[in-house]
Structures are given as structure tokens and as C-alpha cells.
Amino acid sequence: MGSTFENIQSSFWIAIWFVFLTFPLMVIKVNTIDQIIEWRFQNMIWVGLSIFFLSFAWRKLMQIKEAGKKDRKFHLFLLQRVNIKQKYYSQIVFIVILLGVGFPYIVSAYQINIITTAMIYVVLGLGLNIVVGLAGLLDLGYVAFYAVGAYAYALLNYHFQINFWFALPICGLLSAIFGVLLGFPVLRLRGDYLAIVTLGFGEIIRLILENWNAFSFGPSGIANIPRPPLAGLESNIQTASIGMYYLMVFMVLFTIFMVNRLQNSRIGRAWLALREDEIACQAMGIDRTKTKLLAFALGATWAGLMGAFFAAKTTFINPACFTFLESAIILSIVVLGGMGSILGVILAAFILILLPEYLRAFSEYRMLIFGASMVLMMVFRPQGLISHVSKHYQIPGKKDET
């Protein structure tokens, strides 16, 4: 990367070039009312200084990254692996549970709603983590199963007045069926081809919901969707928000337990083998068809369940709620958190959902900050916030030589 003087020199010329490119936009302003040209040279100075320091900082960070490949101490700097002693696990879990139980009673309804939304994305991320993180199947149409679950509950309640609790397993089952239907045509596809087909599937579902007015009420959507009934509690907005919060806490814990058990099971090891090398996986006797279909079905099941929770939480849905952007956000959660990492997906979901909300004070620049944070993360931590660590087995009585 060069010496400090070379970095300063390069950053200076980059700043000059950027000032030249942005000069017409940032400096010249035409006042059409007074028919004069205003020269804003202070903007030119701010642009030049900002680009100079950003470029210099970027080069320094890249030097640290390159040095880290040769120096193991760099991993401590980037917090690649946080080793907490086993004796502190119970205390940490107890504190988290205590904060989670008391949270709705110490914050506003707005805070409860955005945390509940974040938990919905936690479960969606963990569901997609099965398909992408464990099985290695790039799914860009995951929002389709989310939409199936939401519309299944809304339509079942609208036409047949089916209760939320009875509709919930039906939503999961329907989404699983759609997952299998998607899985069959893409059994032989991998990589970019698989991504294109799943993207098309997601758009097909959205367009059907948007144009089939007799079935889905088209762009108008479905309103007045009832919230989950909670026995013994009054039905008002505050109680419903708190009830939904606790339901989502339970769903997050249940999903973590199930995904962890699946990950450590025989089928989980088959998914990991499929992700690493599909040909070798098949040569070892693993049924590739069943393994892929099971990954699609289970991932879709969690999306369908969360679709029902989303419809019950918002009490209104329409096709605009299920665009490709939703799939991109959920996939970003999996990639940012770390492929196959449960804790990483949870952290990434809270960061990606809560960060834009808490940056509303910087409404003009929050998406710029958000995008820059994502770029920096992907450059300096491409393996994710918490990368999945492979298990290490040692034969008893044999000394570890690694």
C-alpha cells in the first residue's frame, strides 16, 4: 500500500479529482428568481477535506487488513472470535432473559413494535439460513413463502373466520408445500442459475397477488386482520403489542432451538456436505434430492409462520409488502451475520432492522451511513459478524497435533 507520505499524496489527488467532478453540482447554484449565479466555494472545501480524510482512512484500514493476514494479533483487533469462559454463560443468559421479560414495561409502544419487527426478521433470517447458510442454495425468492403465509392467514380468516392459532400450522404447511414445488424444478441448478429461478418465483407470486383481484383483492390488499387472541387479557392496542412481543420472543427461542438441533443432526451434516461439494456429497451416498427439498421445505415453513405473524401484527397486507427488497434484506442478514451462524444472524437482524430506525434523526443521510457500513463490513469482515466455526473432534487418548 505504500508509506504514509504516499498515502497522503494519493488521497490529495483523489480529493482534487473528486472536487473537479462535483464542482458543477456542489459549487454552482443558479438562482432562477433573481437570475444570478451563486458560488458556494465553502462546499468545495468541505467536499475536498471529507474525501481526503476518507481516502486516507480507507488506505490505512486496508494496510491493517493486509497486515492482519500475516499477523494473528489482527484477529483480536477485529473481534473475530470472542472466547467467553463457560462459567459466565449462565449469568449472561439470565441477564438477557431478565431484560427480555421486563422490556415492554420500561419502553414506549414504538420501541416494542420495532423490536417485535426485528424479531420477525430474526426468525426469517434463521429460516433462510437453513437454505443458504447450511445447504448452500442461493434463494432470492424467499419473500414468496413469507407472502404465502401472510395471505393464507388473512384469506382463511376473511372467508372462513378461522382463528389465528388454527391458521398458523396451515400457513406453515402451505409454505412448505410451495417450498417443495419450487425445489423440484431447481434440483439440477446451482449458483447464479438457481438465484435467477428463485428470483423469478418470488416475482411470480407477487404479481399473482397483485393482479388476481377475485382471490387476493389485488393492490388494495386485505385489512382488519385480527390479532392473535390472548386468553384472559383485554383486547386493546397496548395489550396486543405486548402480547405479540412475548409471542415473538417465544418464536425466536423455539426457532433457535430447532435450527441448532437441525444443524447438529444427521440432516444438518448432510446440508453442510451439500454446501461444500455437491458431487462429493452424492458420492458419499447422501440423497441429494431429499436433502435439497427438505432444506427448501423447512426454510419455507419458518417464512410461512412469520408471514402469519406479520399479517396479525400489522392487521393489513398487500402485495407491496412482499417485494424483492424484502428478500434482499433477509439475505443480507444471513450474509452479514455469517453463513451458518445462529448468533451472527440474530445480531445482523437487529443491526439491519434497528439501525435505520434509530438513524431517523439523520433522515437525509441515514441510508448513506447504512450503505457505507455495509460496504465496510463486507470489505473487512467478508465471513460475517460471527463466522461459523467447524466442530473439532479429538479421539480420546490421542494427543492433538494441530
Which amino acid belongs to residue 89? Y
Asked if residue 383 has pLDDT above 60, the reply is yes
Helices (H), 264-287: 266-276, 278-283
Contact 141, 203 (CB under 8 A): yes
| pLDDT (tens digit per residue) in 251-291 | 998 998 898 888 888 888 888 888 887 788 878 888 888 88
The H or E element containing residue 197 is helix 191-211
Q: What is the DSSP letter of 336?
A: H
Contact 245, 230 (CB under 8 A): no
The confidence score (pLDDT) of residue 78 equals: 44
d(CA 155, CA 219): 15
Asked if residue 100 has pLDDT above 70, the reply is yes
More confident residue, 83 or 285: 285
60-64, 89-93, 141-145, 153-157: the lowest-pLDDT one: 89-93
Mean residue pLDDT across the chain: 80
120-129, 179-188, 234-243, 392-401: the lowest-pLDDT one: 392-401
Q: Is the pTM of this model over 0.85?
A: no
The confidence score (pLDDT) of residue 175 equals: 92
| pLDDT (tens digit per residue) in 32-48 | 777 788 777 787 888 78
Confidence of residue 29 (pLDDT cuts 50, 70, 90): confident
Phi, psi angles (nearest 5°) of residue 222: -120, 125
| pLDDT (tens digit per residue) in 112-163 | 889 999 999 999 999 999 888 888 888 888 899 999 999 999 999 988 888 8
Strands (E) located in 186-314? none
Contact 345, 166 (CB under 8 A): no
Asked if residue 402 has pLDDT above 60, the reply is no
| pLDDT (tens digit per residue) in 231-253 | 655 566 777 788 888 889 899 98
Task: State how far Cα 151 lies from the chain centre.
Answer: 22
One-character DSSP codes across 46-106: HHHHHHHHHHHHHHHHHHHHHHHTT-TTHHHHTT------GGGHHHHHHHHHHHHHHGGGT
Average pLDDT of span 204-222: 88
Asked if residue 173 has pLDDT above 90, the reply is yes
The confidence score (pLDDT) of residue 86 equals: 45
User: For residue 153, how many C-alpha atoms fall within 13 Å in the half-sphere facing its CB?
Assistant: 36
One-character DSSP codes across 353-396: HHHHHHTGGGTTTHHHHHHHHHHHHHHH-TT-SSPPPPP----T
Indicate the domain borders of the chain: 4-77, 111-380
